[in-house]
Structure 1
Amino acid sequence: MMTALTLVTALTLLGQGQGQETAPTAATGWTPLFNGRDLTGWYTFLQKHGKNSDPDRVITIEDGAIHLYKHATEASTVVMGYIGTEKEYGNYHLRFKYRWGEKKFEPRYKLKRDAGLYYHILGPDAIWPRSLQFQVEQTNVGDLIALFGFQVDSWVDPKTRAEVMPTFLPPEAGGEARVLGGAGIAYQKHLAGEHEVEGWNQAEIISKGDTVTHLLNGKVINKGKNVRLVDPEKNGEARPITKGRIALEIEAAEIFFRDVEIRSLDDTPAAGQGQDK
Protein backbone atom coordinates (compact mmCIF):
# COMPACT_ATOMS: atom_id res chain seq x y z
CA MET A 1 0.00 0.00 0.00
CA MET A 2 1.34 3.41 -0.96
CA THR A 3 1.84 6.00 1.75
CA ALA A 4 1.69 9.58 0.43
CA LEU A 5 4.66 11.81 1.08
CA THR A 6 4.09 14.15 3.97
CA LEU A 7 5.09 17.79 4.05
CA VAL A 8 7.98 16.86 6.35
CA THR A 9 9.29 14.40 3.76
CA ALA A 10 8.95 16.93 0.97
CA LEU A 11 10.87 19.54 2.89
CA THR A 12 13.55 17.00 3.79
CA LEU A 13 14.09 16.47 0.07
CA LEU A 14 14.23 20.20 -0.47
CA GLY A 15 16.34 21.18 2.52
CA GLN A 16 15.73 24.45 4.35
CA GLY A 17 15.75 27.57 2.18
CA GLN A 18 17.41 30.78 3.32
CA GLY A 19 17.31 34.31 2.03
CA GLN A 20 14.42 36.41 0.73
CA GLU A 21 13.91 39.70 -1.08
CA THR A 22 12.24 41.18 2.01
CA ALA A 23 12.82 40.50 5.69
CA PRO A 24 11.48 37.07 6.69
CA THR A 25 8.95 36.71 9.47
CA ALA A 26 10.74 36.01 12.77
CA ALA A 27 13.37 33.33 12.10
CA THR A 28 11.17 31.07 9.96
CA GLY A 29 12.16 32.37 6.53
CA TRP A 30 8.50 33.03 5.60
CA THR A 31 7.55 36.42 4.17
CA PRO A 32 3.94 37.54 3.68
CA LEU A 33 2.95 38.12 0.05
CA PHE A 34 -0.42 39.45 1.22
CA ASN A 35 -0.11 41.81 4.19
CA GLY A 36 -3.68 41.30 5.42
CA ARG A 37 -4.58 44.98 4.99
CA ASP A 38 -4.44 45.90 1.31
CA LEU A 39 -3.13 44.69 -2.06
CA THR A 40 0.32 46.25 -1.86
CA GLY A 41 2.56 44.27 -4.25
CA TRP A 42 -0.44 42.93 -6.18
CA TYR A 43 -2.67 44.10 -9.02
CA THR A 44 -6.15 43.03 -10.09
CA PHE A 45 -7.28 41.81 -13.50
CA LEU A 46 -11.00 41.33 -14.14
CA GLN A 47 -13.14 40.57 -17.16
CA LYS A 48 -14.55 43.73 -18.80
CA HIS A 49 -12.72 45.95 -16.32
CA GLY A 50 -9.06 45.12 -17.05
CA LYS A 51 -6.22 45.97 -14.72
CA ASN A 52 -6.71 47.57 -11.31
CA SER A 53 -10.38 48.36 -11.84
CA ASP A 54 -13.06 46.77 -9.63
CA PRO A 55 -16.29 48.77 -9.92
CA ASP A 56 -18.33 45.68 -8.95
CA ARG A 57 -16.51 45.38 -5.60
CA VAL A 58 -15.53 41.78 -6.33
CA ILE A 59 -12.59 42.03 -3.91
CA THR A 60 -13.01 42.94 -0.24
CA ILE A 61 -10.28 42.81 2.40
CA GLU A 62 -11.52 42.21 5.95
CA ASP A 63 -10.23 40.57 9.13
CA GLY A 64 -6.85 39.84 7.51
CA ALA A 65 -8.37 37.94 4.59
CA ILE A 66 -9.32 38.49 0.95
CA HIS A 67 -13.08 37.95 0.58
CA LEU A 68 -14.24 37.44 -3.01
CA TYR A 69 -17.78 38.32 -4.09
CA LYS A 70 -18.93 39.55 -0.68
CA HIS A 71 -21.28 42.07 -2.29
CA ALA A 72 -22.58 39.91 -5.14
CA THR A 73 -26.08 38.43 -5.05
CA GLU A 74 -26.43 34.64 -5.14
CA ALA A 75 -26.86 33.32 -8.73
CA SER A 76 -26.18 36.74 -10.29
CA THR A 77 -23.79 37.03 -13.24
CA VAL A 78 -20.31 38.15 -12.16
CA VAL A 79 -16.96 38.91 -13.72
CA MET A 80 -13.98 36.61 -13.19
CA GLY A 81 -10.22 37.17 -13.16
CA TYR A 82 -7.40 37.16 -10.64
CA ILE A 83 -5.23 39.06 -8.18
CA GLY A 84 -1.63 38.89 -9.42
CA THR A 85 1.79 39.70 -8.01
CA GLU A 86 3.64 42.60 -9.57
CA LYS A 87 6.92 40.65 -9.33
CA GLU A 88 8.01 37.31 -10.74
CA TYR A 89 9.09 34.55 -8.37
CA GLY A 90 11.19 31.41 -8.78
CA ASN A 91 12.74 28.85 -6.41
CA TYR A 92 10.21 29.18 -3.64
CA HIS A 93 7.89 27.45 -1.21
CA LEU A 94 4.50 29.16 -1.27
CA ARG A 95 1.61 28.51 1.09
CA PHE A 96 -1.85 29.98 1.53
CA LYS A 97 -5.10 29.19 3.35
CA TYR A 98 -8.57 29.21 1.84
CA ARG A 99 -12.12 28.42 2.84
CA TRP A 100 -15.32 28.43 0.84
CA GLY A 101 -18.17 30.88 1.29
CA GLU A 102 -21.81 30.00 0.65
CA LYS A 103 -22.65 31.82 -2.58
CA LYS A 104 -22.17 30.75 -6.20
CA PHE A 105 -22.72 32.79 -9.33
CA GLU A 106 -23.23 32.66 -13.07
CA PRO A 107 -21.63 31.56 -15.33
CA ARG A 108 -20.72 28.72 -12.90
CA TYR A 109 -23.82 28.68 -10.71
CA LYS A 110 -24.67 25.03 -11.44
CA LEU A 111 -21.05 23.88 -11.27
CA LYS A 112 -18.71 23.07 -8.39
CA ARG A 113 -17.24 25.96 -6.42
CA ASP A 114 -14.02 26.92 -8.16
CA ALA A 115 -10.93 29.08 -7.68
CA GLY A 116 -7.20 28.40 -7.80
CA LEU A 117 -3.69 29.72 -7.78
CA TYR A 118 -1.84 30.43 -11.02
CA TYR A 119 1.95 30.36 -10.95
CA HIS A 120 4.76 30.82 -13.49
CA ILE A 121 2.48 33.29 -15.31
CA LEU A 122 4.13 34.52 -18.50
CA GLY A 123 3.20 37.25 -20.94
CA PRO A 124 0.21 39.58 -20.97
CA ASP A 125 -2.74 39.31 -18.60
CA ALA A 126 -5.64 37.27 -19.96
CA ILE A 127 -8.60 35.17 -18.87
CA TRP A 128 -7.02 32.64 -18.54
CA PRO A 129 -3.25 33.36 -18.40
CA ARG A 130 -0.40 31.28 -19.81
CA SER A 131 0.77 29.48 -16.67
CA LEU A 132 0.53 26.44 -14.44
CA GLN A 133 -2.28 26.20 -11.92
CA PHE A 134 -2.92 24.69 -8.52
CA GLN A 135 -6.62 23.92 -8.91
CA VAL A 136 -8.91 24.90 -6.03
CA GLU A 137 -12.23 23.32 -6.96
CA GLN A 138 -14.39 21.35 -4.56
CA THR A 139 -13.34 17.66 -4.71
CA ASN A 140 -10.53 18.55 -7.13
CA VAL A 141 -8.21 20.68 -4.99
CA GLY A 142 -4.59 20.17 -5.96
CA ASP A 143 -5.14 19.16 -9.58
CA LEU A 144 -2.24 20.29 -11.81
CA ILE A 145 -3.31 22.32 -14.85
CA ALA A 146 -1.02 23.32 -17.73
CA LEU A 147 -2.30 26.24 -19.82
CA PHE A 148 -1.49 27.36 -23.35
CA GLY A 149 1.89 25.85 -24.16
CA PHE A 150 3.08 24.78 -20.71
CA GLN A 151 4.27 21.18 -20.57
CA VAL A 152 5.31 19.04 -17.59
CA ASP A 153 6.63 15.51 -17.11
CA SER A 154 4.73 13.66 -14.41
CA TRP A 155 3.43 10.23 -13.34
CA VAL A 156 -0.07 8.78 -13.25
CA ASP A 157 -1.90 5.73 -12.02
CA PRO A 158 -1.74 3.35 -15.01
CA LYS A 159 -5.41 2.43 -14.47
CA THR A 160 -6.34 6.04 -15.29
CA ARG A 161 -3.88 6.68 -18.10
CA ALA A 162 -6.51 6.59 -20.86
CA GLU A 163 -8.79 9.04 -19.08
CA VAL A 164 -9.09 12.68 -20.13
CA MET A 165 -7.78 13.65 -16.67
CA PRO A 166 -5.44 10.90 -15.39
CA THR A 167 -4.76 10.67 -11.65
CA PHE A 168 -1.33 11.46 -10.21
CA LEU A 169 0.59 8.57 -8.66
CA PRO A 170 4.27 8.93 -7.69
CA PRO A 171 6.74 6.60 -9.44
CA GLU A 172 7.74 4.87 -6.20
CA ALA A 173 4.11 3.78 -5.84
CA GLY A 174 3.81 2.47 -9.38
CA GLY A 175 3.02 5.65 -11.27
CA GLU A 176 3.84 5.61 -14.99
CA ALA A 177 5.54 8.51 -16.73
CA ARG A 178 3.43 10.81 -18.88
CA VAL A 179 3.60 14.28 -20.44
CA LEU A 180 1.00 16.84 -19.39
CA GLY A 181 0.07 19.79 -21.57
CA GLY A 182 1.64 21.37 -24.61
CA ALA A 183 -1.47 22.97 -26.15
CA GLY A 184 -4.74 24.39 -24.90
CA ILE A 185 -5.60 23.53 -21.29
CA ALA A 186 -4.63 20.12 -19.88
CA TYR A 187 -5.54 18.63 -16.48
CA GLN A 188 -3.99 16.05 -14.17
CA LYS A 189 -6.03 15.01 -11.16
CA HIS A 190 -4.56 14.97 -7.68
CA LEU A 191 -3.52 11.87 -5.76
CA ALA A 192 -6.58 9.68 -5.16
CA GLY A 193 -8.37 10.32 -1.88
CA GLU A 194 -10.21 13.04 0.03
CA HIS A 195 -7.68 15.62 1.19
CA GLU A 196 -9.84 18.74 1.63
CA VAL A 197 -11.45 19.47 5.00
CA GLU A 198 -14.31 21.69 6.18
CA GLY A 199 -13.29 25.24 7.01
CA TRP A 200 -9.76 26.48 6.40
CA ASN A 201 -7.41 24.40 4.26
CA GLN A 202 -3.71 25.01 3.67
CA ALA A 203 -2.43 24.68 0.11
CA GLU A 204 1.26 24.75 -0.84
CA ILE A 205 3.41 24.88 -3.94
CA ILE A 206 7.09 24.02 -3.92
CA SER A 207 8.85 25.32 -7.03
CA LYS A 208 12.54 24.51 -7.30
CA GLY A 209 14.25 24.86 -10.64
CA ASP A 210 11.96 23.22 -13.18
CA THR A 211 10.26 20.91 -10.64
CA VAL A 212 6.90 21.69 -8.99
CA THR A 213 5.09 19.97 -6.11
CA HIS A 214 1.51 20.49 -4.87
CA LEU A 215 0.54 19.86 -1.24
CA LEU A 216 -2.80 20.09 0.53
CA ASN A 217 -3.01 20.03 4.31
CA GLY A 218 0.53 18.65 4.55
CA LYS A 219 0.25 15.88 1.94
CA VAL A 220 1.95 15.74 -1.47
CA ILE A 221 -0.86 15.30 -3.99
CA ASN A 222 0.70 16.26 -7.34
CA LYS A 223 4.12 16.76 -8.86
CA GLY A 224 5.85 17.52 -12.14
CA LYS A 225 9.34 18.07 -13.46
CA ASN A 226 11.01 19.55 -16.55
CA VAL A 227 8.50 22.41 -16.66
CA ARG A 228 8.76 23.99 -20.09
CA LEU A 229 6.96 26.17 -22.60
CA VAL A 230 6.40 24.71 -26.05
CA ASP A 231 6.39 27.45 -28.71
CA PRO A 232 4.29 26.49 -31.76
CA GLU A 233 5.74 29.44 -33.65
CA LYS A 234 9.20 27.89 -33.32
CA ASN A 235 8.41 24.38 -34.55
CA GLY A 236 7.49 23.19 -31.07
CA GLU A 237 10.78 24.32 -29.55
CA ALA A 238 10.64 24.02 -25.76
CA ARG A 239 12.38 26.23 -23.22
CA PRO A 240 12.64 25.60 -19.47
CA ILE A 241 10.41 27.72 -17.24
CA THR A 242 11.45 28.29 -13.64
CA LYS A 243 9.67 31.49 -12.61
CA GLY A 244 6.79 33.84 -13.28
CA ARG A 245 4.05 35.86 -11.66
CA ILE A 246 1.66 34.34 -9.10
CA ALA A 247 -2.09 34.97 -8.92
CA LEU A 248 -5.13 34.07 -6.83
CA GLU A 249 -7.92 33.09 -9.19
CA ILE A 250 -11.39 34.66 -9.05
CA GLU A 251 -13.94 32.30 -10.65
CA ALA A 252 -17.58 32.91 -9.71
CA ALA A 253 -17.59 31.37 -6.22
CA GLU A 254 -17.44 33.07 -2.84
CA ILE A 255 -14.11 32.23 -1.20
CA PHE A 256 -11.70 33.60 1.40
CA PHE A 257 -7.88 33.64 1.14
CA ARG A 258 -5.45 34.45 3.94
CA ASP A 259 -1.88 33.81 5.17
CA VAL A 260 -0.39 33.96 1.68
CA GLU A 261 3.34 33.49 2.41
CA ILE A 262 6.52 32.64 0.55
CA ARG A 263 10.08 31.65 1.36
CA SER A 264 13.10 31.37 -0.86
CA LEU A 265 14.63 28.00 -1.77
CA ASP A 266 17.62 29.42 -3.61
CA ASP A 267 20.09 27.57 -1.37
CA THR A 268 18.40 24.16 -1.47
CA PRO A 269 18.63 21.23 -3.92
CA ALA A 270 15.82 20.62 -6.39
CA ALA A 271 12.74 18.83 -5.08
CA GLY A 272 13.26 15.11 -5.30
CA GLN A 273 16.79 15.49 -6.70
CA GLY A 274 18.23 12.04 -7.18
CA GLN A 275 14.83 10.43 -6.68
CA ASP A 276 13.27 10.38 -10.14
CA LYS A 277 14.76 8.30 -12.92
Structure 2
Amino acid sequence: MIRKVFQFAILSSILFSCTHNKAEVTDIFHEEPISEWVQMFNGKDLDGWTPKIYHHETGDNYSNTFRVKDGIIEVNYDDYKEGFNDRYGHLFYEKPFSSFHMTWEYRFTDQWLTDAASYTYRNSGVMFHSQAPKTILKEQDWPISVEWQMLAEEKEGVARPTGNMCSPGTDVVYEGKVDPRHCINSSSPTFKWDDWVSAELIVYGDSIVHHLVNGDTVLTYSLPQIGGGVANGYDPAIKIDGQALTSGYIGLQSEGQGVLFKDLRIREL
Protein backbone atom coordinates (compact mmCIF):
# COMPACT_ATOMS: atom_id res chain seq x y z
CA MET A 1 0.00 0.00 0.00
CA ILE A 2 2.94 2.34 0.68
CA ARG A 3 4.11 1.74 -2.86
CA LYS A 4 0.65 2.64 -4.18
CA VAL A 5 0.45 5.88 -2.25
CA PHE A 6 3.93 6.91 -3.36
CA GLN A 7 3.17 5.98 -6.96
CA PHE A 8 -0.10 7.90 -6.85
CA ALA A 9 1.60 11.00 -5.45
CA ILE A 10 4.30 10.97 -8.12
CA LEU A 11 1.85 10.38 -10.96
CA SER A 12 -0.54 13.03 -9.71
CA SER A 13 2.26 15.56 -9.51
CA ILE A 14 3.30 14.86 -13.07
CA LEU A 15 -0.21 14.76 -14.49
CA PHE A 16 -1.53 17.90 -12.91
CA SER A 17 1.52 19.83 -14.10
CA CYS A 18 0.58 19.00 -17.67
CA THR A 19 -2.33 19.98 -19.90
CA HIS A 20 -4.84 17.21 -20.50
CA ASN A 21 -7.73 19.06 -22.10
CA LYS A 22 -7.12 17.54 -25.50
CA ALA A 23 -6.66 14.01 -26.75
CA GLU A 24 -3.12 14.59 -27.97
CA VAL A 25 -1.26 12.57 -25.36
CA THR A 26 2.38 11.52 -25.11
CA ASP A 27 3.69 8.67 -23.02
CA ILE A 28 5.36 10.49 -20.14
CA PHE A 29 5.82 7.35 -18.05
CA HIS A 30 7.90 5.21 -20.40
CA GLU A 31 10.96 5.72 -22.56
CA GLU A 32 9.59 3.42 -25.26
CA PRO A 33 7.68 5.08 -28.12
CA ILE A 34 3.88 4.78 -28.14
CA SER A 35 2.71 1.96 -30.41
CA GLU A 36 0.79 2.52 -33.63
CA TRP A 37 -2.98 2.71 -33.67
CA VAL A 38 -4.76 -0.61 -34.24
CA GLN A 39 -8.25 -0.90 -35.68
CA MET A 40 -10.22 -3.08 -33.24
CA PHE A 41 -13.11 -3.68 -35.65
CA ASN A 42 -12.74 -4.78 -39.28
CA GLY A 43 -16.00 -3.12 -40.36
CA LYS A 44 -17.39 -6.38 -41.79
CA ASP A 45 -18.07 -8.88 -39.03
CA LEU A 46 -17.41 -9.64 -35.36
CA ASP A 47 -14.21 -11.59 -35.97
CA GLY A 48 -11.97 -11.08 -32.93
CA TRP A 49 -14.87 -10.35 -30.58
CA THR A 50 -16.62 -12.66 -28.07
CA PRO A 51 -20.12 -12.06 -26.63
CA LYS A 52 -21.12 -12.90 -23.06
CA ILE A 53 -24.77 -12.34 -22.19
CA TYR A 54 -26.34 -12.95 -18.76
CA HIS A 55 -28.21 -16.31 -18.65
CA HIS A 56 -26.16 -17.57 -21.62
CA GLU A 57 -22.79 -19.20 -22.10
CA THR A 58 -19.76 -17.24 -23.25
CA GLY A 59 -19.78 -17.08 -27.04
CA ASP A 60 -23.57 -17.23 -27.41
CA ASN A 61 -24.69 -14.08 -29.23
CA TYR A 62 -28.30 -14.48 -28.13
CA SER A 63 -30.82 -13.33 -30.74
CA ASN A 64 -28.07 -11.58 -32.70
CA THR A 65 -27.76 -8.89 -30.01
CA PHE A 66 -24.43 -7.73 -31.41
CA ARG A 67 -24.38 -7.33 -35.17
CA VAL A 68 -22.64 -5.41 -37.94
CA LYS A 69 -24.34 -3.08 -40.39
CA ASP A 70 -22.80 -0.46 -42.69
CA GLY A 71 -19.41 -0.66 -40.96
CA ILE A 72 -20.90 -0.14 -37.49
CA ILE A 73 -21.28 -2.49 -34.52
CA GLU A 74 -24.93 -2.42 -33.49
CA VAL A 75 -26.58 -3.41 -30.24
CA ASN A 76 -30.00 -4.35 -31.56
CA TYR A 77 -32.98 -6.11 -29.96
CA ASP A 78 -35.16 -6.74 -33.02
CA ASP A 79 -34.96 -10.50 -32.47
CA TYR A 80 -35.82 -10.45 -28.74
CA LYS A 81 -39.21 -12.17 -28.78
CA GLU A 82 -39.43 -12.95 -25.05
CA GLY A 83 -38.49 -9.57 -23.60
CA PHE A 84 -35.19 -8.47 -22.14
CA ASN A 85 -35.19 -10.72 -19.05
CA ASP A 86 -32.15 -8.94 -17.60
CA ARG A 87 -29.95 -10.17 -20.43
CA TYR A 88 -27.12 -7.75 -19.73
CA GLY A 89 -24.49 -8.36 -22.36
CA HIS A 90 -20.91 -7.52 -23.26
CA LEU A 91 -18.94 -7.99 -26.46
CA PHE A 92 -15.28 -8.55 -25.59
CA TYR A 93 -12.25 -7.75 -27.71
CA GLU A 94 -9.92 -10.69 -28.23
CA LYS A 95 -6.92 -9.62 -26.13
CA PRO A 96 -6.30 -7.88 -22.79
CA PHE A 97 -4.53 -4.54 -22.33
CA SER A 98 -2.71 -2.87 -19.46
CA SER A 99 -1.63 0.67 -20.44
CA PHE A 100 -3.48 1.92 -23.49
CA HIS A 101 -5.29 4.74 -25.27
CA MET A 102 -8.62 3.75 -26.83
CA THR A 103 -10.93 5.89 -28.95
CA TRP A 104 -14.39 5.26 -30.38
CA GLU A 105 -17.56 7.03 -31.44
CA TYR A 106 -21.02 6.10 -30.27
CA ARG A 107 -24.64 7.08 -30.74
CA PHE A 108 -27.83 5.75 -29.18
CA THR A 109 -30.79 4.58 -31.24
CA ASP A 110 -34.47 5.08 -30.46
CA GLN A 111 -34.80 1.41 -29.48
CA TRP A 112 -35.24 0.61 -25.79
CA LEU A 113 -36.86 -2.45 -24.25
CA THR A 114 -39.45 -1.25 -21.77
CA ASP A 115 -39.04 -4.29 -19.51
CA ALA A 116 -35.39 -3.36 -18.92
CA ALA A 117 -34.51 -1.47 -15.73
CA SER A 118 -35.38 2.23 -15.98
CA TYR A 119 -31.75 3.30 -15.50
CA THR A 120 -30.78 1.54 -18.75
CA TYR A 121 -32.64 4.13 -20.83
CA ARG A 122 -30.14 5.90 -23.10
CA ASN A 123 -27.40 4.18 -21.14
CA SER A 124 -24.55 1.92 -22.25
CA GLY A 125 -20.80 1.73 -21.79
CA VAL A 126 -17.39 0.28 -22.47
CA MET A 127 -15.87 -2.01 -19.85
CA PHE A 128 -12.12 -2.26 -19.33
CA HIS A 129 -9.69 -4.08 -17.05
CA SER A 130 -12.38 -6.78 -17.10
CA GLN A 131 -11.96 -10.40 -16.10
CA ALA A 132 -11.52 -12.70 -19.09
CA PRO A 133 -14.84 -13.57 -20.78
CA LYS A 134 -14.15 -17.30 -20.39
CA THR A 135 -14.15 -16.83 -16.59
CA ILE A 136 -17.60 -15.17 -16.51
CA LEU A 137 -20.19 -17.66 -15.32
CA LYS A 138 -23.48 -18.26 -17.16
CA GLU A 139 -25.50 -16.73 -14.31
CA GLN A 140 -23.13 -13.82 -13.62
CA ASP A 141 -24.83 -10.52 -14.39
CA TRP A 142 -21.82 -8.18 -14.71
CA PRO A 143 -18.16 -8.80 -15.38
CA ILE A 144 -15.76 -7.67 -12.65
CA SER A 145 -14.47 -4.59 -14.46
CA VAL A 146 -14.44 -0.79 -14.65
CA GLU A 147 -16.83 1.04 -16.98
CA TRP A 148 -16.62 4.16 -19.14
CA GLN A 149 -20.35 4.89 -18.87
CA MET A 150 -22.20 6.38 -21.84
CA LEU A 151 -25.37 8.39 -21.15
CA ALA A 152 -27.61 10.73 -23.14
CA GLU A 153 -30.32 13.20 -22.19
CA GLU A 154 -33.30 11.58 -20.50
CA LYS A 155 -35.40 14.67 -19.73
CA GLU A 156 -35.01 17.93 -21.61
CA GLY A 157 -33.04 20.49 -19.65
CA VAL A 158 -31.90 18.02 -16.97
CA ALA A 159 -28.13 17.44 -16.84
CA ARG A 160 -27.02 13.89 -17.54
CA PRO A 161 -23.27 13.82 -18.26
CA THR A 162 -21.54 11.07 -20.19
CA GLY A 163 -18.06 9.62 -19.69
CA ASN A 164 -18.82 8.65 -16.10
CA MET A 165 -17.13 5.83 -14.16
CA CYS A 166 -19.05 2.81 -12.88
CA SER A 167 -17.51 -0.07 -10.97
CA PRO A 168 -19.13 -3.53 -10.99
CA GLY A 169 -17.09 -5.60 -8.55
CA THR A 170 -14.37 -2.97 -8.38
CA ASP A 171 -13.23 0.18 -6.57
CA VAL A 172 -11.23 3.24 -7.62
CA VAL A 173 -9.48 6.07 -5.81
CA TYR A 174 -11.07 9.45 -6.49
CA GLU A 175 -9.94 12.72 -4.92
CA GLY A 176 -7.45 10.92 -2.72
CA LYS A 177 -9.57 8.08 -1.30
CA VAL A 178 -11.41 4.94 -2.27
CA ASP A 179 -14.81 6.18 -3.39
CA PRO A 180 -17.76 4.05 -2.19
CA ARG A 181 -20.07 5.15 -5.01
CA HIS A 182 -20.84 2.68 -7.79
CA CYS A 183 -20.77 5.52 -10.33
CA ILE A 184 -18.89 8.83 -10.35
CA ASN A 185 -20.17 11.55 -12.67
CA SER A 186 -17.90 13.34 -15.08
CA SER A 187 -17.87 17.05 -15.93
CA SER A 188 -19.10 16.53 -19.50
CA PRO A 189 -22.07 18.31 -21.06
CA THR A 190 -25.32 16.48 -21.75
CA PHE A 191 -25.85 15.14 -25.28
CA LYS A 192 -29.01 14.34 -27.23
CA TRP A 193 -29.64 10.64 -27.76
CA ASP A 194 -28.93 10.81 -31.51
CA ASP A 195 -25.68 12.82 -31.28
CA TRP A 196 -22.50 11.07 -32.33
CA VAL A 197 -20.07 11.46 -29.43
CA SER A 198 -16.29 10.98 -29.55
CA ALA A 199 -15.01 9.01 -26.55
CA GLU A 200 -11.49 8.31 -25.32
CA LEU A 201 -10.07 6.20 -22.52
CA ILE A 202 -6.46 6.56 -21.37
CA VAL A 203 -5.29 3.98 -18.86
CA TYR A 204 -1.89 3.53 -17.20
CA GLY A 205 -2.15 0.03 -15.73
CA ASP A 206 -3.36 0.22 -12.14
CA SER A 207 -2.29 3.87 -11.78
CA ILE A 208 -4.08 6.76 -13.52
CA VAL A 209 -7.22 6.64 -15.69
CA HIS A 210 -8.58 9.52 -17.83
CA HIS A 211 -11.99 9.75 -19.53
CA LEU A 212 -12.27 12.16 -22.47
CA VAL A 213 -15.36 13.37 -24.34
CA ASN A 214 -15.03 15.17 -27.68
CA GLY A 215 -11.36 15.80 -26.89
CA ASP A 216 -11.76 17.19 -23.36
CA THR A 217 -10.78 15.40 -20.16
CA VAL A 218 -13.95 15.03 -18.07
CA LEU A 219 -12.88 12.61 -15.33
CA THR A 220 -9.63 11.36 -13.77
CA TYR A 221 -9.21 8.73 -11.07
CA SER A 222 -6.62 6.15 -10.03
CA LEU A 223 -5.75 2.76 -8.53
CA PRO A 224 -8.52 0.55 -10.01
CA GLN A 225 -8.85 -2.59 -7.89
CA ILE A 226 -11.19 -5.48 -7.22
CA GLY A 227 -13.77 -4.70 -4.54
CA GLY A 228 -17.19 -3.16 -4.07
CA GLY A 229 -20.51 -4.75 -4.98
CA VAL A 230 -23.09 -4.75 -7.82
CA ALA A 231 -21.64 -7.76 -9.68
CA ASN A 232 -23.39 -11.02 -8.76
CA GLY A 233 -23.05 -14.72 -9.54
CA TYR A 234 -19.27 -14.65 -10.07
CA ASP A 235 -16.75 -17.32 -9.19
CA PRO A 236 -15.53 -16.34 -5.67
CA ALA A 237 -12.00 -17.33 -6.66
CA ILE A 238 -11.98 -14.45 -9.17
CA LYS A 239 -13.08 -11.69 -6.80
CA ILE A 240 -10.12 -10.99 -4.55
CA ASP A 241 -10.97 -7.64 -2.96
CA GLY A 242 -8.07 -5.21 -2.84
CA GLN A 243 -6.20 -6.84 -5.72
CA ALA A 244 -4.89 -4.21 -8.14
CA LEU A 245 -6.32 -4.28 -11.67
CA THR A 246 -3.18 -3.98 -13.77
CA SER A 247 -4.77 -5.21 -17.00
CA GLY A 248 -7.86 -6.81 -18.44
CA TYR A 249 -10.28 -7.14 -21.33
CA ILE A 250 -12.37 -4.48 -23.09
CA GLY A 251 -16.09 -5.03 -23.65
CA LEU A 252 -18.92 -3.15 -25.37
CA GLN A 253 -22.11 -3.16 -23.34
CA SER A 254 -25.73 -4.09 -24.08
CA GLU A 255 -28.36 -3.55 -21.41
CA GLY A 256 -31.69 -3.03 -23.15
CA GLN A 257 -30.86 0.20 -25.00
CA GLY A 258 -29.95 0.21 -28.67
CA VAL A 259 -26.55 1.76 -29.41
CA LEU A 260 -24.06 2.09 -32.27
CA PHE A 261 -20.24 1.87 -32.06
CA LYS A 262 -17.80 2.86 -34.79
CA ASP A 263 -14.15 3.82 -35.39
CA LEU A 264 -12.83 1.75 -32.49
CA ARG A 265 -9.06 2.17 -32.26
CA ILE A 266 -6.45 1.36 -29.64
CA ARG A 267 -2.73 1.83 -29.06
CA GLU A 268 -0.61 0.51 -26.25
CA LEU A 269 1.23 3.00 -24.06
Judge same fold: TM > 0.5, yes or no: yes
How far has the Cα of 1:36 moved from its partner? 1.2
CA contact (8 A) 2:165 2:184 kept: yes
Partner of 1:68: 75
Query: Higher mean Cα deviation, 31-40 or 66-75?
Result: 66-75
Question: Which one has the bigger strand percentage?
Answer: 1
CA contact (8 A) 1:74 1:103 kept: no
Match of 1:100 among 108, 122, 129: 108
How far has the Cα of 1:194 moved from its partner? 1.2
Pair 1:241-2:245 in alignment: yes
CA contact (8 A) 2:161 2:189 kept: no
Tell me, in whole angstroms, the C-alpha distance in 2 between the residues paired with 1:67 and 1:187. 25
Match of 2:204 among 203, 208, 212: 208
Tell me, in whole angstroms, the C-alpha distance in 2 between the residues paired with 1:34 and 1:226. 29
Task: Kindly provide the amino acid, as one letter, of the partner of residue 212 in structure 1.
Answer: V
Partner of 2:126: 117
Pair 1:194-2:189 in alignment: yes
The 3-state SS of whatever aligns with 1:45 is strand
CA contact (8 A) 2:53 2:62 kept: no
Tell me, in whole angstroms, the C-alpha distance in 1 between the residues paired with 2:64 and 2:80. 12
Partner of 1:34: 41
Tell me, in whole angstroms, the C-alpha distance in 2 between the residues paired with 1:252 and 1:230. 26
Tell me, in whole angstroms, the C-alpha distance in 2 between the residues paired with 1:199 and 1:37. 23
CA contact (8 A) 1:108 1:252 kept: yes
Partner of 2:168: 147
Tell me, in whole angstroms, the C-alpha distance in 2 between the residues paired with 1:204 and 1:261. 10
Q: TM-score w.r.t. structure 2 length?
A: 0.73
The 3-state SS of whatever aligns with 1:56 is helix
- Does the C-alpha gap of structure 1 residues 119 and 241 become closer, same or farther in structure 2, counting only changes over 3 Å? same
How far has the Cα of 1:110 moved from its partner? 4.5
Q: Can you list the C-alpha shifts for 1:113-156, whole angstroms capped at 9, x where unaligned? A: 111001000252232110110011222421111221x222112x
How far has the Cα of 1:228 moved from its partner? 2.4
Tell me, in whole angstroms, the C-alpha distance in 2 between the residues paired with 1:76 and 1:122. 28
- Does the C-alpha gap of structure 1 residues 72 and 263 become closer, same or farther in structure 2, counting only changes over 3 Å? same
CA contact (8 A) 1:196 1:216 kept: no
Q: Name the count of aligned residue pairs.
A: 226
Partner of 1:180: 179
Q: Percent identity?
A: 22
Q: TM-score w.r.t. structure 1 length?
A: 0.71
Task: Kindly provide the amino acid, as one letter, of the partner of residue 238 in structure 1.
Answer: G
Task: Kindly provide the amino acid, as one letter, of the partner of residue 51 in structure 1.
Answer: T
Task: Kindly provide the amino acid, as one letter, of the partner of residue 141 in structure 1.
Answer: T
For the aligned residues, what is the CA RMSD? Answer: 3.1
Task: Kindly provide the amino acid, as one letter, of the partner of residue 63 in structure 1.
Answer: D
The 3-state SS of whatever aligns with 2:41 is coil
The 3-state SS of whatever aligns with 2:78 is coil
- Does the C-alpha gap of structure 1 residues 109 and 244 become closer, same or farther in structure 2, counting only changes over 3 Å? closer
Match of 2:93 among 80, 85, 105: 85
Tell me, in whole angstroms, the C-alpha distance in 2 between the residues paired with 1:5 and 1:19. 17
Tell me, in whole angstroms, the C-alpha distance in 2 between the residues paired with 1:203 and 1:220. 10
Task: Kindly provide the amino acid, as one letter, of the partner of residue 145 in structure 2.
Answer: S
Task: Kindly provide the amino acid, as one letter, of the partner of residue 6 in structure 1.
Answer: N
The 3-state SS of whatever aligns with 2:25 is helix
The 3-state SS of whatever aligns with 2:177 is strand
- Does the C-alpha gap of structure 1 residues 228 and 55 become closer, same or farther in structure 2, counting only changes over 3 Å? closer
